[in-house]
Amino acid sequence: MRAPVLSRWFGEAEIAAPPDIESAALRSDRFRLEREGDWTRLEDILKRMERGSLRGISDDDLLALPVLYRTAASSLSVARETSLDAATLAYLEALVQRAWFQVYGPRKGLIGWLRSFLFGGWSRAVREIWLDICIAFAVMVTGTIVGWLLVAQDQKWYFRLVPSQFADTRVPGASREQLQQALAGQDETSGLFFFSASLFSNNAGVAIMAFALGFAFGIPSLMLLVHNMAVLGAMMWLFAGQDLTLEFAAWLSVHGTTELFAILLAGAAGLHIGRSMAFPGTRPVLTAASEAGRRSALVMTGVVLMMVVAAMLEAFPRQLVGGTFDRLLIGGTLLSLWLAYFFAYRPRRRGDEG
């Protein structure tokens, strides 16, 4: 009696199993069909982004990416809870992982960042603060004139303005021969490595201070630029008095076209932050300062690189190249390269084409 009962029970179970399996399959198919449009769109966007460019991706797709990611993540959670088929689970897990990387993952490595910085990012940031550069440039010219006029009126101002390490034989009353000797090149490189390091520290300090003081509405940055250029104005007056203007300009141009340009950008970056805080427009002050800070930080990253270049130029080519024409050629070439890079070189942003 028991055997027929067990046999009949197992038989009923075998008959009941297929409807359950069929129901689960139908539920999985329905789940997929209801959401498959969003998954397909998300996968299409990811494929284009994974090819390494935003080219051809519309603004609507970019704005929809986070929403589609959250939708796929929600679908994955539901699929796990309801134990849908393994193929759907594997597909959603892979899709969500790829989408997470594009939404939250790192955009590029060091090499990629450096490439985008040098080939467009830095020059673009400099052009975006053009007004501050114009203001800083006018202030630097004014500071040079002020330094010249102060020393021309009273030579005691020379010793107040010019640091002692720069006023060895280059002082009022020095002969033309002494000033020419101060501008002469050197035949050996002994000690120049240390000289280069000290110059980099001094010049970078001026640039960083000009940037850091920008938070006080840019006024301290402008004052620092005036003082720094007043030193140059005083020294120009000294060499002009002995008819050595061209020789001094050549001596200065080797490193000065890079160094002074870097200080100009640093002062402008600091002023940009201060001006954004003083005149935020329709934006909240913190928002305006944050945006200006990111832009100025990018400029300052390049300024540090320029200071390294300036220190090397000041320690080596300026000391080892003695001819006035050769020095002017080096300085003029560097100035042309900087101007071309910042204002003529305008690569298109990735994603602007298409």
pLDDT in tens, the chain (354 residues): 444 443 443 344 444 445 555 555 556 677 777 888 888 888 888 888 877 666 667 778 878 888 888 888 888 888 777 767 777 888 888 888 888 877 776 556 567 778 888 898 999 999 999 999 999 999 999 999 999 999 999 999 999 998 876 666 788 988 999 888 888 765 445 455 555 556 567 677 778 888 888 878 888 889 999 998 999 999 999 999 999 999 999 988 998 899 999 999 999 999 999 999 889 888 898 888 888 998 999 999 999 899 888 888 877 776 677 788 999 999 999 999 999 999 999 887 654 433
Global pTM reads 0.68
Task: Say if residue 293 is in the same domain as residue 265.
Answer: yes
Task: Say if residue 84 is in the same domain as residue 131.
Answer: no
Residue 53 CB coordination number (10 Å): 13
Task: Say if residue 118 is in the same domain as residue 98.
Answer: no
**Is there a contact between 268 and 218 (Cβ–Cβ < 8 Å)?**
no
Q: Residue 40: inside a domain, yes or no?
A: yes
**Is there a contact between 261 and 177 (Cβ–Cβ < 8 Å)?**
no
Residues 6+ apart with CB under 8 A from 147: 157, 161, 229, 230, 231, 232, 233, 234, 236, 237
Q: Based on the number of CB atoms within 10 Å of its own CB, is 263 exposed (0-12), middle (13-18) or buried (19 or more)?
A: buried
Phi, psi torsion values for 107, nearest 5 degrees: -80, -35
Q: Which amino acid is at 12?
A: E
CA distance 345 to 272: 22
Residues 6+ apart with CB under 8 A from 295: 125, 128, 129, 269, 272
Q: Residue 5: inside a domain, yes or no?
A: no
Task: Say if residue 83 is in the same domain as residue 127.
Answer: no
The two three-digit tokens of residue 113, written as one number: 């960042």
CA distance 324 to 308: 24
Last residue of a domain, one of 75, 105, 135: 105
Q: Residue 273: inside a domain, yes or no?
A: yes
Last residue of a domain, one of 70, 105, 140: 105
Task: Say if residue 73 is in the same domain as residue 121.
Answer: no
Task: Say if residue 50 is in the same domain as residue 116.
Answer: no
Number of domains comprising the chain: 2
Task: Say if residue 223 is in the same domain as residue 285.
Answer: yes
CA distance 330 to 258: 11
**Is there a contact between 253 and 330 (Cβ–Cβ < 8 Å)?**
yes
Residues 6+ apart with CB under 8 A from 191: none
Task: Say if residue 95 is in the same domain as residue 162.
Answer: no
Residue 352 CB coordination number (10 Å): 9
Residues 6+ apart with CB under 8 A from 335: 253, 257, 261
Q: Residue 96: inside a domain, yes or no?
A: yes
Q: Which whole-number Å values give the CA distances from 49 to 55, 65, 213, 304, in the listed order? A: 8, 11, 41, 33
Task: Say if residue 100 is in the same domain as residue 116.
Answer: no
Closest CA to 338 of 295, 298, 305: 305
Q: What is the largest CA-CA distance in the chain?
A: 131
Task: Say if residue 262 is in the same domain as residue 306.
Answer: yes
Helix (H) or strand (E) holding 62: helix 59-81
Q: Residue 66: inside a domain, yes or no?
A: yes
Helices 2-50 and 59-81: angle between axes, nearest 10 degrees: 160
Task: Say if residue 85 is in the same domain as residue 233.
Answer: no
Q: Residue 350: inside a domain, yes or no?
A: no
**Is there a contact between 327 and 318 (Cβ–Cβ < 8 Å)?**
yes
pLDDT of 8 reads 41
pLDDT of 334 reads 95
CA distance 23 to 26: 5
Task: Say if residue 184 is in the same domain as residue 94.
Answer: no
User: Range of 23's domain?
Assistant: 19-105
Would you give the distance in Å from CA 56 to the centre of its chain? Answer: 26
The two three-digit tokens of residue 301, written as one number: 């990253």
Specify the residue for token string 């832009």: 295
CA dihedral 188, 194, 200, 202 (to 10 degrees): -110
Q: DSSP character for 16?
A: H
Q: Residue 14: inside a domain, yes or no?
A: no
Q: Residue 13: inside a domain, yes or no?
A: no
pLDDT of 230 reads 94
Last residue of a domain, one of 105, 129, 156: 105
Closest CA to 72 of 48, 97, 51: 97
